[in-house]
Each structure stands twice: as C-alpha cells, then as structure tokens.
Amino acid sequence: MYDVDPEVAAGLIAMFGPEPAAPVPVDDWATRRHNTHAMFSELRTKYAPAVDVETQDVTMTVAEGASVGLRIYRPHTRDSDGVLLYLHGGGMIMCNLETHDAICREYAVRTGMCVVAVDYRLAPEHPFPVPVDDCMAALRWVAGQRDQGWAPHRIVVGGESAGGGLAAAVALRARDEGGPEIAGLLLVYPMLDDRTCERDAGLDAVATWTYDDHLTAWRAYVGTDGAASGYAAPLRAETVVGLPPTYLEVGELDIFRAEITAFAGRLLESGVRLEFHLHPAVPHAFELFAPAAAVSERAMADRVRAIKSLQNKKRAGLDK
C-alpha cells in the first residue's frame, strides 16, 4: 500500500469524501464524461480563476469543413512574444475549453505569455486520428498568425494527461512533416501508451485515474485492437530523435508512471534535452484537488519556469 501526501489526501477527501466511489463499468465513457464535467464545475466554485487576462474565442476550419474552437488568453501583464498552445486532458473522451479555462488563465498570467487552448473533437464520436489532426491544425494556425503578437519560432506545445499525449503526438507529426517549428514541449503526466494494463494493486487503491478509466479511454480512442501508430500512443513511436526540448513530470502514485519514465529514458538516449520530475506520494492530477499543497505549488512553479525557458530554445536544444 502506498501513502499519499497528506495535503493531497485532504484535498481528495474534500472533493470525493472519505469512501471510494462506486466504480464505473469499463467502456462507460458517457458516465465518466458526465462525472468529470460535474467535478470541474464544482472545482470552479472553490477556486477563483485569474481575471487579469483577456480572452477571445475563434474558430478554425479543419478537415472536411468541420469547425474547431480555439480560445486565446492574453494576460494584462504580457511581457513575452512566446505562446503556449495548450491541449487539455480528459482521456481523449472528455473535457473542453470550459473545464480547463482556469488553468489556461493561470498559465497566461504567470508566464506573461499568450495561451491558445484547443477544443479538439473527442472520442468515441471522433476517434484517432481526429484529435491529433485537430491539434496539428491548431499548431499550423498558431504558426501562421502574423498579427497576434507572438513569434512563430517561440511556440511551446503543452498539455496534461491526454493533452500531454496529444502534445507529444503533435511534436512527432511536426518533426516528420517538416514543421511547424516547436520551441519546446510541456508534458504534464502525459497519456502515452495504450499498453499500460498490468495492474499494480497498490496504485489502483489510490488512483484518481484508474486502470478501468485507462482501458475505457484507449478503447474509445483507438478501438479494441490497440494503437498501431506512434501518433496515437507516442511511446510506440519508432524514434523520438529530433523532438524539441521537453519538460516532463509524473506523480509516484500515477498509473502512468512506468510509461512516462520509459519515455523519459528514450528522450535522454536520443539526445533530447529533458527536465524530468517524479513527484513523491501523489496520484494523477494531484494539483487539481489540492492546489495549495506544497507539492502542487512546486510543480506549478516548475511548469511556469519551464515554459518561459522553453520558448527560447531551438529544436536541437543546443543554444546557449
């Protein structure tokens, strides 16, 4: 059995109560989507979002004439021409611009940079490769804007959980397709591998994202036969050589920890500049449930520092 950081444990109890909730059946993505959106609604009542930022909603047209929404965050104290393209989490099956509005505001205010959030289409209604295609289209959109006040060579692509997996997939696509250039990657406990299925009973007991959630999400995203493409599951990529400088983190009690540490090893072996954090005694999405915990404040400070640094890095990571 694993011990949970006391401050994070208190936040989890405040959010979910002292007893574990009844498990949701595997493949019931609709209930998971409903419950998660309700949870984010409750979180918005507890934590006031940053207000010293202006937002603008725009729409881009993608494949087959479909529309995908973007939200631009411009901090009042903007002091950088970098931009963070942010891809929200949610297991590829849930969440949207509204659930992640607060975190995008926070990043904009604390980095002094514009943030562009992507309302990519979700599985199972839109399985792979649609979410990756939408996010790739958003990268091209950001890189092609000449009147928004950001520099196309200072794009950081980031996200948490599923959004982190999508960010890694977008970086692989951009490398293989000759651009657009990405200055750096922010991968916060990213969802990288559909093969994470061997259960650790100790982790299962403390998981905020469970093995059943994981199986449900991947089945909705790539079907029951698994992901054959590294663009779907980036840990499967044939090579990670040539990816941008990367910030990567995971909690010790996250069921993603093995796939993320494996990805960290591949990045290092491939000569990719890497900053990697393994936070002790915390599960997936720990900072959402306990934002005032010391570990959450450290993690957020590290992410903000990394974003500011990554915007100045070149793809090879060899600048001084």
Which residue numbers are catalytic? Answer: 161, 254, 284
Give the per-residue SS3 of the chain: CCCCCHHHHHHHHHHHCCCCCCCCCCCCHHHHHHHHHHHHHHHHHHCCCCCCEEEEEEEEECHHHCEEEEEEEEECCCCCCCEEEEECCCCCCCCCCCCCHHHHHHHHHHHCCEEEEEECCCCCCCCCCHHHHHHHHHHHHHHHCCCCCCCCCCEEEEEECHHHHHHHHHHHHHHHCCCCCCCEEEEECCCCCCCCCCCCHHHHHHCCCCHHHHHHHHHHHHCCCCCCCCCCCHHHCCCCCCCCCEEEEEECCCCCHHHHHHHHHHHHHCCCCEEEEEECCCCCCHHHHCCCCHHHHHHHHHHHHHHHHHCCCCCCCCCC
Q: Which two tokens stand for residue 27?
A: 């493949």
Residue that is written with structure tokens 């982190």 in the block: 164
